[in-house]
Amino acid sequence: MEQVINLKEKFSGITDYWNPRIAGELNGQHIKLARVRGEFIWHSHAEEDELFYVVSGKLVIELRDGSITLGPGDMTIIPRGVEHRPVAQPEAEIMMFEPASTVNTGEQRTDRTRLDLDSI
C-alpha cells in the first residue's frame, strides 16, 4: 500500500484531458486526479455530491444561476442534482472526491464518458 501520494508526480503521468484517474480510495470514495482544459459538458449527478479541489490552474464551475471560480488551493462541493459544467481557463489540474459509483458525465453518455478508470 502506498503511504505517500505525491500529486506533482501523479500529475506528471497524466497527459490527456478530462480523463480522471484514481489516485486513492477510502470508505467507498474515490480520490480522482484529472488534467482539464476548456469546457466539459453540462451534467448532474442524481445521487452523488462532488468535491472539486484545484491543485494548479483555474477552474470555473458554471451553474445555471451563476458560477464558482477556483484557483490553486480552492475547493467547492457541488450537491447532488445540481447541473454544472466545469471549465478550465486555460488548463487546470484538479482532484475530485466522490463515491466510487460516480460517472464523470453523470446521467449523460458522450465521448467524454469514462466508465472504467485507471489507477495511478
CA-wise closest residue to 95 among 67, 117, 74: 74
CATH classification of the domain holding 95: 2.60.120.10
| 24 assigned to some structural domain | yes
Expressed as residue numbers, the domain containing 51 is 7-99
* pLDDT of residue 6 exceeding 60: yes
Half-sphere exposure of 98 (CA within 13 A, CB side): 29
Lowest mean pLDDT among 4-8, 65-69, 78-82, 103-107: 103-107
Predicted TM-score (pTM) of this structure: 0.89
d(CA 55, CA 16): 16
Asked if the structure places residue 13 within a domain, the reply is yes
pLDDT higher than threshold 80 for residue 117 = no
CA distance 83 to 105: 11
Is the residue at 55 inside a domain? Answer: yes
In total, how many domains does the chain have? 1
